[in-house]
Each structure stands twice: as C-alpha cells, then as structure tokens.
Amino acid sequence: MERALESAREAAAAGEIPVGAVVLGSDGEVLATGRNRRLTSTDPTGHAEVIAIRGAAEAIGDRFLTDCTLVVTLEPCVMCAGVILAARVPRVVFGAWDDKAGAVGSVYDLLRDGRLPHPVPEVVAGVRAAESAELLEAFFSERR
C-alpha cells in the first residue's frame, strides 16, 4: 500500500485526484503502478487501477492477471471493477471507501456479484484507509 500511496501523492502533485494503484506478482514483486491521469491525459479511462492493470498485463504478456494482487488507495468504481473482473485479478486490496461511486462493497458490489460469469476475487478493504482518505480530503478542500 505504501507504493500505491506514493503514486497517489504523485497524482496530487500533478493536479490529479490522488488515487494510486500497484499490481503485485505472485512473489510480491511490483509489476506495474498507476495513478490517476484523467485530467492531464484527457482520457476518461485514466484511472489508477486501469493504468496499473494495463501495465501489468503488458509486463507479463497476458491479459489475465490470475496470480496477481491489485492494491489501490480508493475503492474501485464500476468501470475499474469491470476491468478487474475482465483481467481475472484474484485479490484486491484497497484503502478508503468511496461512498459515492464505490463498486466493491459500498454503493455496489460488482466484484462479489455471483451473477457475473467471472471468478470472485478476494477483497481486503480499509488498508491504511485513513491515509488514503486524508489525501483525497486535502485535495478536494484545496479546490473548494
């Protein structure tokens, strides 16, 4: 989670919403990192999770990340949850809950929705949640 928080801080420094993500291989090695880039790239899919998953898929040469763990500072949204399922990520660890757009237990729970034809990933929520939430709160308070 420390590496994901570092990416979130980098996002904030670049004027982006401070969300960071990292994909770890089965041995714990960092395969890829991502940070929000929606504003600077004008890409609506430029979420930290999507960027990290794309990088990890490229690093291992496979679209399925079946031995990986995604660590992200904020609960993934609906789009990111879909990418997580499509990539077959078996473990997701996140920091702060997103009570406005979260799709991993707060507003929606797409990852554990048994109606979808994908394996159900393990979810670990609230890891360093206070630090993750503080980054977001500081970012938005500066803009108000």
Q: Is the pTM of this model over 0.75?
A: yes
pLDDT, position 144: 73
- CA 108, chain centre distance (Å): 15
Instruction: Determine if residue 80 is labeled as part of a ligand binding site.
Output: yes
Question: Which structural domains are found in the chain, ordered by start?
Answer: 1-136 (3.40.140.10)
**pLDDT digits over 25-34, tens only?**
999 999 999 9
Instruction: Determine if residue 68 is labeled as part of a ligand binding site.
Output: no
| Residues noted as catalytic | 49
Query: What is the CB neighbour count within 10 angstroms for residue 43?
Result: 12
In sequence order, the 6+-apart residues with CB closer than 8 A to the CB of 32 are 22, 23, 51, 52, 53, 54, 55, 56, 58, 59
| Tokens read off for 87 | 């990539």
Q: Which of 79, 87, 81 is nearest to 112 (CA)?
A: 81
Write out the chain's pLDDT in tens, 144 residues: 999 999 999 999 999 999 999 999 999 999 999 999 999 999 999 999 999 999 999 999 999 999 999 999 999 999 999 999 999 999 999 999 999 999 999 999 999 998 988 899 999 999 999 999 999 999 999 887
* Inter-axis angle of helices 48-60 and 2-13, nearest 10: 120
Q: Is 129 helix (H, G, I), strand (E, B) or coil?
A: helix
Instruction: Determine if residue 47 is labeled as part of a ligand binding site.
Output: yes
| Tokens read off for 92 | 């997701």
